[in-house]
Amino acid sequence: MKIAFRIAVAAASVFLFVSSGDAGFSQTTKAGASRTEVSTTKAKATPKPKTSRKQKAADEAKAKALAEARRPRICETRNTQCNYGAGAVGEPCSCWSKTGAPDAGLTARR
């Protein structure tokens, strides 16, 4: 008698578990929709953040300034030119002249 009661309780709990999963699924989906369609529908519901014209212009200016900062430059002195790394144009710099002394000049674009 106890064994039959335990089997009946186990069967009832399995039945409730299976039926509750199907009921939850049918309540959350549209007619004829599968589980994958439900998850993709929810993903499409979130809107993308919009960027304004000012934000786009600011991003372009920032990218242009970064590219300018990475551009190679040279140091132009009275007598010579030498490579001077990367950075802004118009800064003071120095190169070794042919006589062996440092010669002062300004940076320019390569």
Task: Please tell me the pTM assigned to this model.
Answer: 0.40
Structural domain boundaries enclosing 96 = 67-109
32 occurs within a structural domain: yes
Q: Which residue has the higher pLDDT, 67 or 28?
A: 67
Average pLDDT, the chain: 76
* Pairwise CA distance, residues 92 & 24, whole Å: 73
Phi, psi of 13 (to 5 degrees): -65, -40
Q: Rounded mean pLDDT of 94-98?
A: 86
3-state secondary structure of 83: strand
* Residue 38: per-residue pLDDT: 53
What would you measure as the largest C-alpha separation in the chain, in angstroms?
A: 113
Count of structural domains within the chain: 2
Q: Residue 9: what residue type?
A: V
61 occurs within a structural domain: no
Torsion sign, CA atoms 15, 16, 17, 23? positive
62 occurs within a structural domain: no
105 and 76, same domain (yes or no): yes
User: Cβ atoms within 10 A of the Cβ of 75, count?
Assistant: 21
Range of lowest pLDDT (35-39, 53-57, 60-64):
35-39
Predicted confidence (pLDDT) per residue in 7-19, tens digit: 877 777 776 666 6
